[in-house]
Amino acid sequence: MKHFYTAALAVLLTTAVTAQGLLPIANKTANQRRLESFDTPTQVDREVIWSHDCNVDSCDSWTFDNGASIVGSPWEDIDLNFECSTDGPAGPYNQWAGGTGDGSAASAMNSTTSSNGLLLIDSDLFGQDANYDAAWIENSWVQTANSIDCSTLDYVSISLETRYRCWDNGASDDSEKCLIEISRDGVNWPDIETFAEIDGTVDYGDGELIASRWEVFPGYGTGDGSDNPSLLEFDITSAAGGQEQIWVRFRWAGTWGYSWEIDDIQIYETPANDLRIDNYVSYTDYFTTGVYEAGVFAAGQLSELQAAAKVYNVGYLDQEGSTLALDVNGNDAGASDPVTIAYQTNDTLRVTYDMAEVTAYEVTYNLSATNEDENPDNNTATQSFEVSNLHYGRDNGTMTGAFPAEGTDDFIALAPYDIFEDVTVYAIDVAIVAGSEDGTPVIAHLFDGSDENYITEQYGGLFASTAELDLASQYSNDGTEDDVLWYTLVLEEPAQLAAGSVIGAGFEHYGGSSVQIWESQYAYDNTCFVYGPFGSGSAYDWYYTNETPMVRLNLNPDATNTVAVKEVEATNFQLYPLAPNPANASTRLQYRLDQAADVTMEVRDITGKLVAQINRGTQAVGYHSITLDVSDFNAGVYMTTLVVNGARATERLLVD
C-alpha cells in the first residue's frame, strides 16, 4: 500500500480550505475516547443462538489462516493474519485510529466489549514489514473452529460491531474487500481467485449454487472509514437457514490496506419487523445543510434547523409507513413524510423545526412504522444544544479530553464558525485545563475563512487578536464540573462580522511552559483544526481534529479580561475566600484595603452576564466584608469580582 498524506479538503459553506494530514493530532492519550456525533447503536436484547465477544482468553474458538498466492505460501517471515488483540492497529499510519504512527498501538475500537479483546488484521503493519514492495494479493481469514447449529431458524441474521478504514492501493479500484462467508461443511467456501467477479456462491456437491458471501463495506474507496464502531447486520438465510451446522469466516482480501477490527458477534433469528435509528442523527442535518452542530448557537444567527436521522431496516419485511417524529423540549415539532424502507436498506428522514428562542433545547427522535417494531429500544435518540445571547460555541460544554497531549508544545487550536447574520464579537473564551502553569503568556485570534492562506499558513487570514494575557491557573477546569469556567480574552477592537462570512476562533500557546485546553464533542472531518508539531517527524502544519477545541466567540459587550494572579498581587488590597462556598442562601466576601479606595462587587454567571452589582463607594483602610444574597440565584457557577480603584480580583462561587 502506497501512503500519501495529501491536503484534505474542508468545505466550510462559503469557502473551501485545506489542512495537511488525514487525521487529527497525533499523540492522543490512551484514555481519550474518540467521540461520535451520536452513540453508535448497541445490540438489542434478543434471543441469540450463538454469540462471541472475541475475548482473548477464548481465542481457541477461532482458526486463523491465509491463502497467499506467492511462492512458499503461506507467507514466511512476513505475518499477515488475523489475531486476537486488546489493542487497535499499530501500523505506521495508524493516526486515523487515534494512534501516533510511532509503532505503538492505537486504542481498540469502541465496541461493547473491546476491553477484553477483539479480532484484528493490521494490513498497514504488514505493508511496512513487506517494505511496501509486494505485488501479490492479500487473502487472510479467521473462522469459527466449531460448527453452529441453525436448524431451528428459517431466517438467520448475523451482526457484528466493527471498524475499518480502506486504502484500495490509492486508486479506489475496488480491490480491497472485507467479507463474511458461510460454509455448510467447513471445507467448501466461496472462491476468491479474482476481485472483478465475486459471485460468492458454493456448490456443496448437489449442483445447487448457494449464496454464501456478504461484503461488509461495499463501495468503500481509498481513505473511506467506518464509524467507531459500526453495528452491521446481514441476513445469511440463503446459506444458514435451517442448517444443522455452519461455519462463519471473516475474510480480508486486497492489495495492502489499513486495518479491520471485529467484535461482539451474534447469530439470531431475523425479525420480520425491525427498524432502528442508525449511526447518524444530527440536529442540523450537517451532511445535507453543512450547518455545524454547534453546542451553543448565538441568538439571531438562525431561526430554524433541520434535524435528520438515518434509519435502517433490519426486519425481513419491507417497513411501510416509516416515519420520524421530532419532539423538541417536550413538544411535538413535526414528522417526516412516511416512506417504505426495504429490507437491509436505509433512508435518511428529516424534520424542520424552530429554534429562535434563547433557551436550552432537547431534541428527541422517535421512529415508527405501520407494523409494530419487534425491537423498539433502538427507535429513539436524543440530542441537546443551546441558544445564547452572549456566546457562540462549537463545543457542547462537556470536557472530554485535554489538548495537546504534551502541554509544552506550541499550538493554535481553532474552531471555525459560520456567520449567518451580522454580529459583533468582543472576546474569545477558552476552557483551560487544570495544571496549566501560572504566568504563561497566551493570546487568541480571529481568522478570515475566505483568505487564500487560511489553514495553509500559520497566521493565514489573521485579522483580529487579543492582547497577551499571563495565565492565571485558578481559572482552569479539572474536567469534573458540570459547568465550565471560561477564560476570557478580550479583542483589542470589537470585530464586526458580516453575514455569510466564515471565521476561525483560535487560541495560541507559544510553548515552553505547560498549557492545555479542553476538547469537547465529536467534530466531523475537516471542521476543526490545530496548528503545531503534530505530523510525522513533529512537522509543523495545520491538521484537522475530530475533537472540538473549546474555543468560543464571546458576544458580551461588557466582557472583561480574566485577571492574572500577578495583577491581583500588585494592587493594594487582599481578597479572602468566599464563605460559605458552595452557598444556597448567602455568602460573605472578605477583603483588606491597604489604602482608601472605591470598591464595587460584580457577580456574573458562566455566560458572563452581570447578575448582581454592589457599589460600596469609597472605603477606608482596613478589613471589610460584603454579604451576598444568593437565595434567588439559579444553581450553578458564578464569578464574584471585587473591583478596587479599577483593579480586579475574582473568586469562583458555586450556588447549589
Whether 253 is covered by a domain: the verdict is: yes
Give the count of alpha carbons within 13 A of 308, CB side only: 20
Which residues lie closer than 8 Å to 389 by C-beta, 6 or more apart? 298, 299, 358, 555, 607, 609
The Cα 648–Cα 270 span in angstroms is 67
* Sheet strand arrangement including 138-144: 62-66, 138-144, 247-254, 177-183, 213-215
Check which CATH number belongs to the domain holding 594 and give it: 2.60.40.2550
Is 409 a domain residue? yes
SS3 call for 472: coil
Assess if residue 293 is contained within a domain: yes
| Domain C-terminal end among 498, 525, 554 | 554
Are residues 465 and 342 part of one domain? no
The answer to whether residues 415 and 528 belong to one domain is yes
Query: Which pLDDT value is given to residue 245?
Result: 98
Question: Is 41 a member of any domain?
Answer: no
Which of 269, 287, 305 represents a domain boundary (last residue)? Answer: 269
Amino acid at 601: M
- Contacts of 356-359 with C-beta under 8 Å, sequence gap 24+, read 356/299, 356/302, 356/303, 356/304, 356/387, 357/387, 358/299, 358/387, 358/388, 358/389, 359/329, 359/386, 359/387
156-189 as b/e: b if 16+ CB within 10 A: bbbbbbbbbbbbbeeebebbbbbbbbbbbebeeb
Q: Which amino acid is at 149?
A: D
482 and 501 share one domain: yes
> Final residue of a domain: which of 367, 388, 409?
388
In a domain, 14, yes or no: no
Amino acid code (one letter) for 577: P
3-state helix, strand, coil in the chain (%, to 5): 5, 45, 50
Asked, as a colleague might, if the bond just before 494 is cis with ω within 30 of 0, I would say: no
Same domain, 73 and 207: yes
Same domain, 406 and 492: yes
**Does residue 497 sit in the same domain as residue 633?**
no
Q: Within a domain: residue 347?
A: yes
Q: How many whole angstroms separate alpha carbon 154 and alpha carbon 622?
A: 88
Beta strands in 389-528 (DSSP E): 391-392, 401-403, 411-418, 423-430, 441-448, 462-465, 469-470, 487-497, 502-509, 517-522
User: Looking at the domain assignment, is residue 175 inside a domain?
Assistant: yes
Report d(CA 95, CA 103) in Å as an integer.
Answer: 11
* C-alpha cell read off for 453: 492562506
Same domain, 264 and 285: no
Residue 187 has φ and ψ, to the nearest 5°, of -115, -50
Same domain, 539 and 591: no
CA dihedral 100, 105, 107, 111 (to 10 degrees): 140
Cα separation of the two ends of the chain: 58
Please report the pLDDT score of residue 257 as a whole number.
81
- Count of domains forming the chain: 4
Question: Three cell numbers at 18?
Answer: 485545506
Beta strands 118-122 and 259-269 are antiparallel
Q: Are residues 124 and 186 in the same domain?
A: yes
Residues contacting residue 289 through CB under 8 Å, at least 6 positions apart: 306
Answer whether 28's CB lies under 8 Å from 405's CB.
Answer: yes
Q: Residue 480: which domain range? A: 400-554
Under a CB-based contact definition with an 8 Å cutoff, are residues 452 and 430 in contact? Answer: no
Q: Is 622 found in the same domain as 522?
A: no
**264 shares its domain with 143:** yes
Q: Tens digit of pLDDT for each residue in 510-554? A: 999 999 999 998 888 889 999 999 876 788 999 988 889 999 999
pLDDT of residue 41: 57
Q: CATH no. for residue 413? A: 2.60.120
The low-confidence residues of the chain, meaning pLDDT below 50, are 1-39, 71-72, 74, 565
Residues 462, 447: Cα–Cα separation, whole Å: 4
Mark whether 248 and 105 lie in a shared domain.
Answer: yes
DSSP assignment letter at 433: B
Burial tier of 303 (Cβ tally within 10 Å: 0-12, 13-18, 19+) = exposed
CATH number at residue 343: 2.60.40.10
Give the SS3 label for residue 474: helix
Residue 24 in domain: no
